[in-house]
Amino acid sequence: MEITILLENSKLKGSNLSIEHGISMYIEKNDYNLLFDTGGPEESAIKNAAQLGIDLSKIDAVVISHGHSDHTGGLMKFLEINNKALVYLKKEALTPHYSKRPEGMKYIGMDSEIAEKYSDRLNFIDETTEIVRGIFLVPQISKKFSVPSSNQVLFAKKDEKLIYDNFKHELFLIIENNKDLVIFSGCGHSGIKNIVNTAQNLFPNKKIEAVIGGFHLQAGSFDYALANGEEIEDIAKWLKSEVDGKIYTGHCTGERGMNLMKPVLKDKLEMIYTGIKITF
């Protein structure tokens, strides 16, 4: 299995790829090509795919982790390029979502035109689904542990009222690789401990080879609603004991989150950057 980070908030020095706040990963597993999230509305992930020589028209499926624009922003453009891939997401991802910023409420939901224009391509998932052999989508995330404190600035619209987002619109991806599990999280709003714990409950006898994605330890790319040091250290310690392999993170984990996890996880923790490849 090979993963190419099409977009992450940062890139390596000297890289001429585009970056913006968001995440998108291109995954090749046997002969199946998958896109996990589509990056932000500047469509950097789509531009980077072209620059990296990845033919998006050949992608078999797109998985949308949740209905925020830094994960769904490239979807419209993708659907213009690719006329066959099914898009897997939770129905709740189409709900309007907002972020409370110092300057006021900002709309951060999906482009509503996608549901109007491409309803035949959207495939709503509400229970664990094996889309092809060894590739599982998990839309019901157990809440044994607390959710990230930085979710407190995130809202959903229900009956014309803004309510605290419960993240029912989030799902995650598990790929079986040589019998072990690789877990993909978008923003990890449900809590990365809850995501990993849900995977453990589904596959109690499997090792976790890697966890890849964002853990939402801060509000987007901003320096408010930061998770406190204890919350971050607790996550790092838990991941150290529960995950057999490596932890690859970036995006909404933030540089601060990574710096606080590093002393606990040491070489087990790897940062991801736009354009890098991870091979298992």
The DSSP symbol for 206 reads -
Q: How far apart are CA 272 and CA 268, in angstroms?
A: 13
Strands 246-249 and 208-213: parallel
DSSP string of 140-180, one letter each residue: ----SSPPPGGGGGEEEEETTEEEE---TT--EEEEEETTE
Using CB under 5 A, pick the residue from 87, 175, 187, 272 that binds Fe ion: 187
Q: Which stretch binds Fe ion (CB under 5 A): 95-103, 117-125, 130-138, 185-193?
A: 185-193
Q: According to the binding rule CB under 5 A, does residue 68 interact with Fe ion? A: yes
For residue 263, what are the contacts with CB-CB under 8 A and spacing of at least 6? Answer: none
Among 37, 70, 170, 209, binds Fe ion (CB under 5 A): 70
The span from the CA of 146 to the CA of 153, in Å, is 16
Question: Which of 153/174 has CB closer to Fe ion?
Answer: 153
193 binds Fe ion (CB under 5 A): no
Intra-chain end-to-end CA distance of the chain, in Å: 5
Segment lying near Fe ion (by CB under 5 A), choices 72-80, 94-102, 159-167, 248-256: 248-256
- Tell me the window of 112-120, 173-181, 245-253, 257-265 that interacts with Fe ion (CB under 5 A): 245-253
The nearer residue to Fe ion, 20 or 209, going by C-beta atoms, is 20
Size of the site for Fe ion (CB under 5 A): 4
Where do contacts with Fe ion occur on this chain (CB under 5 A)? Answer: 68, 70, 187, 252
